[in-house]
A and B are shown apart, each in its own frame.
Chain A
Amino acid sequence: MSGGLFDDLRDLYQEVILDHGRKPRNFRRLDDADRTARGDNPMCGDRMELFVKLAPDGHIEDATFEGRGCAISMASASLMTDTVKGKTQAQARQMGENFRALAMTGVCPDCGGDIADDMERLAPLSGVHDFPSRVKCATLAWHTLNAALDGGAKEASSE
């Protein structure tokens, strides 16, 4: 890394985000997905397709995605699919609510309790709250997850 022009952007682009952005986890189709949804940020060119496999009791057995977009949107989808695995749908939706608060304000008063560890994993993305035009990049994956859980082949947008 040469020069220091962008050093203060390390709050936004933390190493974990750059890593997940470059090598997104769970980046594959799920052919036996029970729920899918497409997410699109038309302004940015971020596009993703999310796949969710549900267990018989309804909890999220597996979550994967494919798509193209900026480092923030890819890292967010990567971290999200990692963290919602094994959660009930209600828990996943609650995490999404909390994540949106985190992305918009940088803090999350309701991030304690049984999801505290998972929210901690998502915390590196909280830096986007300083970049209003980038918040929607971080939240796209969660909007898309809601659309998938709502059922149907809806298109989500965080516009």
Chain B
Amino acid sequence: MDGHVAPRLNLDAVRADFPILAEKVRGKPFTFLDSGASAQKPRQVIGAMVRMMETAYANVHRGAYHMSEQATEAYEAARGAVARFLNAGDVREIIFTGSSTNAINLVAHSYGRGVMKPGQAVVISEMEHHANIVPWQMARDAVGIELRVCRITDSGELDLDDLAAKLADGKVGLVAVTHMSNVLGTVTPAAQIARMAHEAGAKVLFDGSQAAVHRRVDVREIDADFYVFTGHKLYGPTGIGVLYAKGELQEAMPPFLGGGDMIAEVFFEKSVWAPYPAKFEAGTPPIIEAIGLHAAIDYVNAIGMSAIEAHERALVDRAMARLPQIEGVTLLGRAQDRGGVFAFAIDTAHAHDVATLLDRAGIAVRSGRHCAEPLHERFGVESTCRASFGLYTTPAEVDLLADALHQAREFFR
């Protein structure tokens, strides 16, 4: 970082911001290692949402009265905060949706079915979340586009040679891949993927549900055409997701959902769409959630994404030093560039039995297939446990996990 030392994250202060971390589970401190599924919420987010409801709430874009104008201003300010968070060039390139899943479905519908032509192909990868698989299967079955699956290497990295091969015939209209795997922790080389896609005449979508939480994302630097993330994994509320989409693409795309707020004029014979991004925000949007997401972005910005990244880097190094040392524990994936997500199997026990034991120690991990069934097939494992870190995760929690896993293996031996 140009000799610049990243500011350190004050872990005690951070943890004090999250009321739930003071809870006890089965009489033990709550060791929350499932932030990859959904992160906990700081007081700043909770407070902003409560304040909005108590002092400044009304529907947006509708009322010619003070409260509605104030709510509209707050909602649009949240859009501005998201645009700056992603370094988008234009605030209108930010569409609010209900979730990452909704955002990908929007693209699959409005771009996949609405703009792409039958015979064109979408490339996804073997390490996608179901949310970035199923919408494309549905688009494939509806309009006859082809679905291609880019391989990953045994270490859990995107196989760029295979990506090049998949792009070679020039038929690919869109590459839709994760920016960070929710199972392997692999961070994909977004700028390189975008370059390869663009050279082959394809657009590119990144599922940033995991990545945007752990490091600074600059959609212009990586030259993403679409970028998706969700509020609830970024210490914000559920019920809000973000789709970044370049203006020229939004211009060309038909709406996804029809209803109020997305139209300029409505007659019974026809309607005229509102300009983007309103065209893609039918109905009353997640207003309170947008205010919560704004507060969450302010929160991580105040700590600093580089400080968060440095903190999590140290946790990843510690986990990589400890977890593979435990006899009988196998980690899935060994990517060079990775974030704080670890999926593992234990030789003597099934993932669900391990999770039940860890719960007894107050440790919350996810177990199963983590909405990535094809990836588990790829690695030939039935199911895994997954530990995922957040900005409030402590080195001591990583140690506790390692100790507990060792004891869990002994328990089932």
The docked-state distance in angstroms from the alpha carbon of A5 to that of B408 is: 9
Which residues on A sit within 8 Å (CB–CB) of B404?
5
Q: Is B144 engaged at the interface, CB distance under 8 Å to the other chain?
A: no
B352 touches A13 (CB 8 A): no
B407 touches A71 (CB 8 A): no
Nearest residue in B to A9 (C-beta to C-beta)?
B360
| Complex interface bits, A27-44 against B, C-beta within 8 A gives 1, otherwise 0 | 000000000000000011
Q: Is A86 engaged at the interface, CB distance under 8 Å to the other chain?
A: no
The docked-state distance in angstroms from the alpha carbon of A5 to that of B376 is: 30
Which one of B350, B369, B376, B411 contacts A70 once the chains associate, using CB atoms below 8 Å? B350
The docked-state distance in angstroms from the alpha carbon of A88 to that of B367 is: 38
| Complex interface bits, B334-366 against A, C-beta within 8 A gives 1, otherwise 0 | 000000000000000111110011001100000
Which one of B360, B367, B382 contacts A6 once the chains associate, using CB atoms below 8 Å? B360
The tally of residues in A whose CB lies under 8 Å from a CB in B reads 23
Question: Which interface class (under 10, 10 to 19, 20 to 34, 35 or more) fits B?
Answer: 20 to 34
Which one of B351, B356, B367, B407 contacts A131 once the chains associate, using CB atoms below 8 Å? B356
Which one of A18, A46, A47 contacts B412 once the chains associate, using CB atoms below 8 Å? A18
Q: Is A68 engaged at the interface, CB distance under 8 Å to the other chain?
A: yes
Q: Give the secondary structure class of A's interface.
A: loop
CB distance from A139 to the nearest CB of B (A): 14
B407 touches A5 (CB 8 A): yes
CB distance from B266 to the nearest CB of A (A): 42
Which residues on A sit within 8 Å (CB–CB) of B382?
45, 47, 68-69
Which residues on B sit within 8 Å (CB–CB) of A18?
412
The docked-state distance in angstroms from the alpha carbon of A72 to that of B356 is: 11
CB distance from A147 to the nearest CB of B (A): 21
Which residues on A sit within 8 Å (CB–CB) of B367?
44
The docked-state distance in angstroms from the alpha carbon of A131 to that of B355 is: 11
A6 touches B352 (CB 8 A): no
State the B residues within 8 Å of A (CB).
349-353, 356-357, 360-361, 367-369, 376, 382-383, 403-404, 407-408, 410-412
State the A residues within 8 Å of B (CB).
1-3, 5-6, 8-9, 12-13, 18, 43-47, 68-72, 131, 134, 137
5 more CB-based (< 8 A) A-B contacts, given A44-B383, A46-B352:
A9-B357, A47-B382, A70-B351, A71-B353, A137-B352
